[in-house]
Amino acid sequence: MRTLFDQLFNNATARRDFRIQLRGNRAVVLFTVYLGILSLFAVISYDSGLARSTVNLVEAQSRLQSFYGTITGTLVFAVITIATSLGSFAVVMEKQRRSLELVFSAPVHPRYFLVGKLIGIYRFILLVLVLAAPVLATCIMLGGATWGEAFTGLWILSMHGLIFAAVGVVCSTLATKPTGALSLSLLVAILLTIFASAFGGTSIFFGLRGTRDVAFGTLFSPFTIFQVATSSSSLWGVQVQNWIPFTVVALMIVHMLLLGAESLLSGLATKTVRALRIAALFYSFLLPGLLWLTPSPSGKVLSHFFGFLGCLIVAMAVPTITAFGFDEVRKRRPNGWFRPKELLSGTPAGALPFLIALLGAAMVSVLLFPKLFSLSVSDVESTLPNLVLTFGFAIFLWGYGRAVSAGLTTIRSAKLLSTIVAIGLVALPALLLSTVDGQSFSEPAAVSWMLYPFRSIFGPDEQLPIGFFWGGVFAVGGAWLAFFGEKRLKANLQQPRFRLYVEDERA
């Protein structure tokens, strides 16, 4: 097998993709348009905020920072859009021109291929960031920011680009057409941005307190990166720059997303799927533990973050591992609802055992890690509501996935319906409540926001306990849906269109 060095620094897929990306006039035109837009924003922003003859020093400083914020905001938008779009085309284009089959007829592991795709996109993102340097330099020369803030911000933004590119790659693996992949990727990217911004905002709200000592969770909000780029956290009494733990966790998130994409590209019940599931369990244990290493001033920030990350992973992964049905190549027939021995096989009967193991590992990590490593974390218990909520959400989506699959024969429809519900559950109540209720969900007294199932994640600390309630509601609802799905499946198996399931069982 290829070494990690080969995978990262001598990757044929990355080399070829990068070559194609920079070929011909297309790249020149694209970069020119990008620089033009960035410069235009800079000029408009400068003209409206700074081009005045008399302002006092304090106001001038504030306006310069605002100018810097506008430029970096545009840059963030550009990077997110470009990274997501490039990621969304990465696999689906190979599928469409059917070159994916040629690649996998060679001794190539899906990981090598996906890492290559991601490296190709990351190189392009770095180019985009380097090209923005002259515009950023203007801000620095004018006094809106320091070089340190700008470079650290660019590094963190590149990590965000990597995460969004990985999101695009996962969507690209799921989709069959480029337009579908792009739409799905952009939708997920928008939701992820909203999710991350809300979390980052929460982190800032609890973390800033007038100092530069803020939880590194703030860096997950793409649009505040440059404002808190040089912040730090206290780790075992040592001040650590937040971009360091952020980079570690960002790479872990990217790795997990790649594992998801890899499992989609690998066959079922193979060694690859087993290895991937073992890796996912390991990460599920490791990631929450690592998050404890950079405690925020208030441990409750991590509670929000655990809930955020957990629900995000659940929403992305559960529809895929739960749905069953037939597709063109693979076979995911309904082989039962709970079989522990199928934990690592990737079949529908192993979905629930895997989910329990995955979330169990996370819970054990969250609760035991501080004790194992004698960390001075005072608020371990505050993480429980959001862990229960995550678990309940997973059970709900699992039950829903089985109920939907029971009525359909094609796995693609089942996955799509499950994903829509997962996204809808997060987004729709928030939109509805913000329309109906003028109050912000961050206000502890906003009663109607109690109806929002994810309030314990995005809301204030006072509302954390509601996570227990909604976790319970989700779990009971999921169990009922699964039960309903089983009954429906048994009835449907008598019908001719489900004949293949029965014949396959006999075979």
Partner 1 sequence: MLEVKNLRKDYGGFLAVKGISFQLKPGDVFGFIGSNGAGKTTTIRMLATLLEPTSGSATLHGIDVIEQPMEIRRMIGYMPDFFGLYDDVKVWEYLDFFAAIYGVERRPQVIDEVLELTDLTVKKDAFVQSLSRGMQQRLCLARCLVHDPKLLLLDEPASGLDPRARADLKELIAELGRMGKIVIVSSHILPELADFCNCVGIIERGELLAFGAVKDIVRQMQPAKKLEVKVLGESGSVVEWLGSKTGIDSIEARDSETVSFHLHGDDGDQQQLLAAMVAAGVPVLTFREEDADLEDVFLKLTTGAVN
Q: 3-class SS at 234?
A: strand
Least separation in angstroms between CB 504 and partner 1 = 4
Q: How far apart are CA 216 and CA 246, in angstroms?
A: 6
In the stretch 148-167, what mask flags binding to partner 1 with x, by CB under 8 A?
--------------------
By CB under 8 A, how many residues form the interface with partner 1? 36
Q: What is the DSSP letter of 346?
A: -
Residue (of 170, 182, 165) closest to 319 by Cα position: 170
Select the residue interacting with partner 1 from 32, 48, 270, 378 (CB under 8 A).
270
The total of other beta-carbon atoms located within 10 Å of residue 465's CB is 13
Alpha-helical runs (H) found in 293-383: 300-322, 351-372
Nearer to partner 1 among residue 118 and residue 446 (C-beta): 118
Stretches 8-16, 53-61, 123-131, 139-147: which one binds partner 1 (CB under 8 A)?
8-16
**b (16+ CB within 10 A) / e for 379-394:** bbebbbbbbbbbbbbb
Q: Are strands 331-332 and 238-241 parallel, antiparallel or unpaired?
A: unpaired
With binding defined as CB under 8 A, does residue 1 bind partner 1? yes
The dihedral region occupied by 324, where left means phi > 0, alpha psi between -120 and 50, and beta the remainder, is: beta
In the bound state with partner 1, the residue whose beta carbon lies nearer, of 331 and 412, is 331
Q: Tokens 């991601």 map to which residue?
A: 118
The footprint of partner 1 on residues 325-364 (CB under 8 A) is 326, 329, 331, 333
In the set 142, 356, 423, 500, which binds partner 1 (CB under 8 A)? Answer: 500
Is there binding between residue 497 and partner 1 (CB under 8 A)?
no
Q: Whose CA is closest to 304, among 366, 382, 364?
A: 382
Helix axes 384-406, 411-436, angle to 10 degrees: 130
Q: Given candidates 18, 305, 400, 501, which one binds partner 1 under the rule CB under 8 A?
A: 501
141 or 329, CB closer to partner 1? 329
Backbone φ and ψ for 54, nearest 5 degrees, come out as -125, 110
**47 vs 504 by CB, closer to partner 1:** 504
Applying the rule CB under 8 A, the residues between 271 and 330 that interact with partner 1 are 326, 329
- Whose Cβ is closer to partner 1: residue 41's or residue 326's? 326
Instruction: Report, in Å, the least distance between residue 362 CB and partner 1.
Output: 32
* Chain residues that interact with partner 1, rule: CB under 8 A: 1-2, 12-13, 15-16, 19-20, 23-24, 97-99, 101-109, 112, 267, 270, 326, 329, 331, 333, 499-501, 503-504, 506-507
